[in-house]
């Protein structure tokens, strides 16, 4: 999940979702698209500000819009704890997330979506429009194992 999102990719994605590719939208989408973990609002603000002057309210509004148009996933509900990551284009489901309870890091899991028995939910007369799969535990780094990305530590 290291694919870098270019300006062109961001514009294409906005167009496919029926959104006009304004400069600010492109910046916000790229900030999320180029971060490998689910991104917090402060992180997004920092990334966006580096290149352009854009205010907080505008960023929040763009994030809401992108979530509404299924470009981004929103994790967490409180304003402080919410995080954003890219949503796959053609999948109605959302990828699962892992939260490390020790270091508070979040990871997007590149795993096929876990099965959900929609039939059973329908029998309960629940009309589901949002599914968030959230796994908790201890990440490899906190377990003292090599992290997924770094390797080649062998010296001697
Ligand atoms: Zn951890
Ligand atoms: Zn994610």
3-state secondary structure of 68: helix
Instruction: Report CA(106)–ligand 1 centroid distance (Å).
Output: 9
| CA distances from residue 132 to 15, 76, 156 in whole angstroms, order as listed | 26, 9, 45
Residue 69 backbone phi and psi in degrees, to 5? -95, 15
Cβ neighbours of residue 106 closer than 8 Å, sequence gap 6 or more: 37, 38, 75, 83, 97, 98, 99, 100
Instruction: Report CA(102)–ligand 1 centroid distance (Å).
Output: 5
* pLDDT attached to residue 142: 94
Instruction: Report CA(68)–ligand 2 centroid distance (Å).
Output: 16
| Calpha distance 23→27 (Å, rounded) | 6
Model confidence pLDDT, tens digit, residues 53-70: 788 899 999 999 999 998
**Tokens, residue 5:** 């999102």
* pLDDT attached to residue 25: 96
**Tokens, residue 78:** 């409180």
What's the CATH fold of domain 7-137?
Arc Repressor Mutant, subunit A (1.10.10)
Instruction: Report CA(122)–ligand 1 centroid distance (Å).
Output: 36
Q: Which ligand is closest in space to the CA of residue 144?
A: 1
**pTM score above 0.85:** no
Give the number of other CB atoms < 10 A from CB of residue 66.
24
79 has a pLDDT exceeding 70:
no
Q: Which residue has the tokens 């967490």?
A: 76
Average pLDDT of span 98-123: 82
Instruction: Report CA(37)–ligand 2 centroid distance (Å).
Output: 7
Q: Domains of the chain: which residue ranges?
A: 7-137
Q: What percent of the chain has pLDDT over 90?
A: 50
Instruction: Report CA(154)–ligand 2 centroid distance (Å).
Output: 31
Which residue, among 76, 63, 106, 110, has the nearest Cα to 91 in the 3D structure?
Answer: 110
Q: Which ligand is closest in space to the CA of residue 139?
A: 1
CA 78 to chain centre: 16
């Amino acid at each position: 999940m290291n694919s870098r999102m270019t300006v062109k990719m961001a514009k294409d994605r906005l167009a496919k979702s029926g959104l006009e590719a304004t400069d600010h939208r492109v910046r916000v989408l790229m900030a999320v698209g180029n971060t490998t973990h689910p991104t917090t609002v402060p992180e997004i603000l920092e990334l966006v500000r580096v290149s352009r002057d854009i205010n907080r309210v505008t960023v929040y509004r763009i994030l809401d819009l992108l979530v509404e148009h299924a470009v981004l996933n929103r994790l967490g509900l409180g304003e402080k704890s919410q995080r954003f990551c890219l949503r796959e284009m053609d999948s109605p489901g959302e990828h699962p997330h892992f939260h490390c309870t020790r270091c508070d890091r979040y990871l997007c899991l590149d795993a096929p979506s876990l099965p959900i028995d929609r039939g059973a939910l329908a029998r309960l007369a629940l009309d589901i429009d949002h599914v968030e799969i959230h796994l908790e535990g201890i990440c490899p780094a906190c377990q003292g194992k090599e992290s997924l990305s770094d390797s080649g530590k062998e010296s001697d």
